[in-house]
Amino acid sequence: MADNSKLYELDGRVPLLQAIPFGLQHVLAMFVSNITPIIILANVVGIEPKISAALIQNCMVIAGIGTLIQLYPIWRIGSRLPIVMGISFTFLSIAIFIATSQGMGVLMGAVVIGGVVEGLLGLCAKYWVKIVPHIVAATVVTAIGFSLLPIGANSFAGGQGAADFGSMNNWIVGSVTLVSCLLCQVFAKGFLRSLSVLVGLVVGYVVAVCMGMVDFSGFENVSFVSLPTFLPFKLEFNLGAILSIICVYLVSATETIGDTSALCNGALKRNPHKVELGASISCDGFVSSFAGLFGCTPITTFSQNVGLAAMSGVVNRFTIATGACIMIFGGIFPAVGYALTTIPQAVLGGCTLLMFGSILFAGFGMMARSGFTQRNMVIVSLSLAVGIGFTQAADMFSIFPQIVQTVFAENCVAVVFLLAVILNLVLPKDKKE
């Protein structure tokens, strides 16, 4: 009988046929979220379909390359942790604003320069990461968990804006998928339990096909091979756009700190090292600059996959790397990518709800290890109350300049992080500290 123990170890070679399903599980967990930002941006800006299709392929290739660099670092770029990278939603609103008002060339120029800034910040993280102690990281991780729950719920119902949003079909498919994941997680053992998300996805997909919810017609016009398009937009540099994007890069860096902390605490059962945090951030930044050269918005660590790693316990780097290779193949061979796009949103929603909840659980665990002191209670409770509460009433930010609205109005993680850092700096230390 095959030894599965290496799956749950960071290093070690896992047989390829055993690694592929676990790698595919990671791809399926993040696939739609990875390509959705560029689809929305292309639709709003009015990019022609041929270029839009090329950008989607580029996103898959960039996500795969970024993941491989996180797993197998280049110098000090990459954390050597089982982190999966993808195109960030955090930049979507500012990207739309810049692209519609100044053009895609200006946006990509800002993405390239801003990515270098974040990358350099990551390389010198040891000088500033001390302002993010364990209790601040725990608060940010919890905020990330809360921020993902509406995404899972919207997918469960069919995807926000879908014509059949909340329909009976979506309820049935989402519920079957969720229950399948849950049953596999509770009753299966060993190898199969670690594949609970993939099992649920397969069951849900089969049900969706039987209910006529999957459209295969697009395969007729899919080419066999298509290489990534370099510089689909001529880079232009505008100081205002660059500064705006850099502000959002700082927010993205805080999310990366939270995701890396959640991964280490939830899946590896330890706290992250400062070197790992900095290397993770530098990979975010420099790969994002690379993404800009291919017309993609910035890349970041994916919280969905942090939850999956914590839930399944699979942290083997080689195994995650097979998923990265699948993403790259999906970008080079469009049929692979198109096959993944046929998965209904309700199926993905059913798979992700449990994963997103596991991120919350990781945040609670980090809080417990930080201690339930009066000081920590104030930092956590006020940061979460203001961050989550205020961003649910986003119109209250209307009195502030556009850049403040862009960064904070609908981004609870940014508000929570800023407030948690400020409170940690100004509140009196506990006597035992």
Which candidate, 262, 271, 293, 289, places its Cα nearest to that of 364? Answer: 262
Q: How confident is the model at residue 433 (pLDDT cuts 50, 70, 90)?
A: low
Report the pLDDT value the prediction gives residue 292, as an integer from 0 to 100: 94
Whether the per-residue pLDDT at 307 is higher than 80: the answer is no
Q: How far, in Å, CA of 365 to CA of 274, rounded?
A: 20
Instruction: Enumerate the β-bridge partners of residue 74.
Output: 77
Mean pLDDT over 28-36 rounds to 73
Whether the per-residue pLDDT at 28 is higher than 90: the answer is no
Whether the per-residue pLDDT at 382 is higher than 60: the answer is yes
More confident residue, 252 or 39: 252
Mean pLDDT over 161-190 rounds to 88
Average pLDDT, the chain: 84
More confident residue, 337 or 138: 138
Residue that has been written with the tokens 């690379």 in this structure: 290
Q: Could you tell me if 88 and 291 are in contact, meaning their C-beta atoms sit under 8 angstroms apart?
A: no
24-28, 71-75, 268-272: which range is least confident on average? Answer: 24-28
More confident residue, 40 or 8: 8
Inter-axis angle of helices 49-71 and 16-45, to 10 degrees? Answer: 140
Mean pLDDT over 209-217 rounds to 86
Q: How far, in Å, CA of 21 to CA of 25, rounded?
A: 6
Report the pLDDT value the prediction gives residue 258, as an integer from 0 to 100: 82
21-35, 61-75, 281-295, 416-430: which range is least confident on average? Answer: 21-35
Mean pLDDT over 32-57 rounds to 77
Find which of 7-21, 143-157, 264-278, 376-390 is predicted with most confidence, using mean pLDDT: 376-390
What is the percentage of the chain residues whose pLDDT exceeds 70?
94
Find which of 28-42, 247-261, 309-323 is predicted with most confidence, using mean pLDDT: 309-323
Whether the per-residue pLDDT at 392 is higher than 90: the answer is no
Which candidate, 91, 20, 10, 16, places its Cα nearest to that of 263? Answer: 10
In the numeric block, which tokens belong to residue 412? 């609870």
Whether the per-residue pLDDT at 418 is higher than 90: the answer is no
Report the pLDDT value the prediction gives residue 176, as an integer from 0 to 100: 94
Q: What is the pLDDT of residues 133-156, one digit of tens each?
A: 878 888 887 887 888 788 788 889
Report the pLDDT value the prediction gives residue 432, as an integer from 0 to 100: 58
Whether the per-residue pLDDT at 91 is higher than 90: the answer is no
Report the pLDDT value the prediction gives residue 171, as an integer from 0 to 100: 95
Mean pLDDT over 403-421 rounds to 81
Report the pLDDT value the prediction gives residue 1, as an integer from 0 to 100: 40
Q: How far, in Å, CA of 413 to CA of 286, rounded?
A: 22
Under DSSP, is residue 233 helix (H, G, I), strand (E, B) or coil?
coil
Q: Which amino acid is present at 128? A: W
Query: Which residues, in sequence order, are CB contacts of 112 under 8 Å at separation 6+?
Result: 235, 289, 292, 293
**DSSP H or E stretch at residue 154:** helix 134-156
Q: How far is CA 403 from CA 44, 186, 270, 344, 391, in A?
A: 20, 46, 37, 35, 15
Q: What is the pLDDT of residues 264-289, one digit of tens each?
A: 888 888 888 889 999 999 999 999 99
Report the pLDDT value the prediction gives residue 190, as an integer from 0 to 100: 64
- For the chain, what are the domain ranges? 15-426
